[in-house]
Chain A
């Protein structure tokens, strides 16, 4: 009979080995799932994980990788800061939508003025929109002790209602012949977020994601605030004695994650999505939760995890068009990855021992 025994200190090996092991387990079980759906599992796994990087159309798909990874990394880094401190912002999807709406509103308000200042102001407005949306659960938590998980999640549904109203009402393209959706930013150069190097898929969102990764790493490892975040997560009592203010921590972590999610939304809506539409958001805010855990809540790990998750998106689309794999299968695949990650993670703090005789 196997039994768990707590390790005296967390295993460094398993800390780094958990994500690859979880990915492998997901590939095996996912392969079985694909096989039961009547697909060749090896072909599907190759299409998802190999073809986008090294396959025939890799020259195009590699760019797509960066397009998908950018928002995921940007959102996940913000979430990870909070998760580390035990502050659970689950509503990044709503903050992402509100960032996009705020930023796009600024751009559309001054249409068709041409000025270099417009895009930077939109970026600030986008971050502000996400920040405001995250401040609602943050302030309710600090003032009224309200559960931030539930409030931030409820606000996703509220944001989706506002988005529907924005694309059919107050941000609707007046020259759109009655179709829902705002003006397209690709035809408005001052507010657009184009590819910076042709074919690379890199737009300002990707730049922001990589810069944020480095900044967040410095914050966590070299800065007082990062120390406080880690302390509050690992030893709340010690953090109180150290003089860490829970209120400030909640406001800071929620604020940063909200602003980053808002930024991601703005870059998406001005770049790859092109316009505010009812369904421009594709669940990045929720997938980013998986990315944050896959990256071990470590900013540099999250950058890697973001690319891996982007691979499942891009490869999943390939598998959907070439092999007829349903889109939902990829969603199941991603959810499974988080399960395996959480299960394998037990080995970081515990080890299995063969118990001789019943205890």
Chain B
């Protein structure tokens, strides 16, 4: 069952695995941002986690300890951010950037001598008999434990943020730190714990890149995934299940573009703008139903409709669009931008679901 040289079942199974690093990092960042902290250092924490996980896994021979090591490394780096922003009240944007620059440097320094080593393999969790079932086997049962862990974490965080007391406190701190302080909560201490949690999740996501996705040590291995995770948090309006949808969407695009590069020009590339068009149309219809403003979006829609119409015109002459496959590797980043535009358009201020105190430091004067 192939479609332009691409098997959709394998595609779905692969995208679930390829989405794990972004999903874990974005879930962690969701908690951090819900507590009112904007940590732009996700990329740095991921790559430190990738290195930490790799080093521990190679040293101990246990991939499980590797993931623990990655989480510890990510959390340790995030504590630098917590110290600077929560104790020294440094600007969160600048500190987050510093964290990324520092993390990239440290990982490249510490990773020397690990090139070309194979880490211990993380095998599938369930017996092969289940994974060999047709269609559902590879999609539902063929994964390693981290994939299931990431899905479980989505559910857990959804419940924690929505229904638990801890979640209520985190949200209170993120929406109004003055009010939370007046109620007697230690705002900076709660934020510090959230930051450390976010660091551990990002670190574990990074470890999944170096231990399962690639799996070897390469300089700059996370290649911007931390930034995409940040974008997904915005895309998801700070909600765990939507984070998962976002991560799978991007995992899908990444896998698809790799497959497309391999499959060459067999695949009808014009489908990509068409999919964007359909997504936009769906969003506009949803907003129409909810009675929301969509005038900005309509222009984006017209733009893509024009692009699509031109492409179809061209195709009607019986040619493929001569889109060089080399350029496809930029598609995850372009689609991130497009999705950010769709999510931000027509929503001003906190209407997009951003925590009200996001990015503001808190200093208890009394």
Q: Which residues of A approach B to under 8 Å, CB–CB? A: 4, 6, 83, 88, 90, 136, 140, 143-147, 149-151, 153-155, 157-158, 161-162, 164-165, 169, 286, 289-290, 293, 326, 328-336, 338-339, 342-343, 345-346, 349-350
Contacts and interface: CB of A to CB of B under 8 A. Distances in A.
Interface string B331-344: 00110110011001
Q: Secondary structure of the B side of the interface? A: helix
A140 B365 CA distance: 38
Interface stretch (B2-10, B90-98, B282-290): B90-98
A329 B109 CA distance: 6
Given A158-B330, A331-B104, A149 B112 contact: no
Contacts of A88: 93
Contacts of B94: 83, 289, 293, 338, 342
5 tightest Cβ-Cβ pairs between the two chains A and B: A335-B102, A331-B105, A328-B109, A328-B108, A342-B90
Contacts of A350: 89, 363
Contact of A339 (B102, B327, B333, B345): B102
A146 B340 contact: yes
Contacts of A90: 97
A155 B90 CA distance: 27
Given A153-B227, A289-B101, 16 more contacts: A4-B363, A144-B346, A145-B345, A149-B93, A150-B234, A155-B333, A157-B223, A162-B330, A286-B101, A328-B112, A330-B105, A331-B101, A335-B103, A342-B98, A343-B90, A346-B89
Contacts of A343: 83-84, 88, 90
Q: Secondary structure of the A side of the interface? A: helix
Contacts of B98: 290, 335, 338-339, 342
A180 B98 CA distance: 33
A334 B330 contact: no
Interface string B294-316: 00100010000000000000000
Given A146-B344, A157-B330, A289 B106 contact: no
Contacts of B347: 145
A330 B83 CA distance: 23
A155 B89 CA distance: 30
B348 interface: yes
B80 A332 contact: no
A151 B80 CA distance: 26
Nearest to B230: A150
Contacts of B223: 157
A166 B106 CA distance: 31
B101 A150 contact: no
A155 B337 contact: yes
Contact of B327 (A165, A334, A336, A338): A165
Interface in B66-99: 80, 83-84, 88-91, 93-95, 97-98
Contacts of A329: 105, 109
Contact of A342 (B95, B109, B231, B324): B95
B257 to A, nearest CB: 11
21 contacts: A4-B363, A6-B363, A143-B296, A145-B348, A146-B337, A146-B340, A147-B234, A150-B336, A154-B224, A155-B333, A157-B224, A162-B327, A162-B330, A169-B326, A289-B97, A293-B94, A328-B112, A334-B105, A338-B94, A338-B98, A339-B95
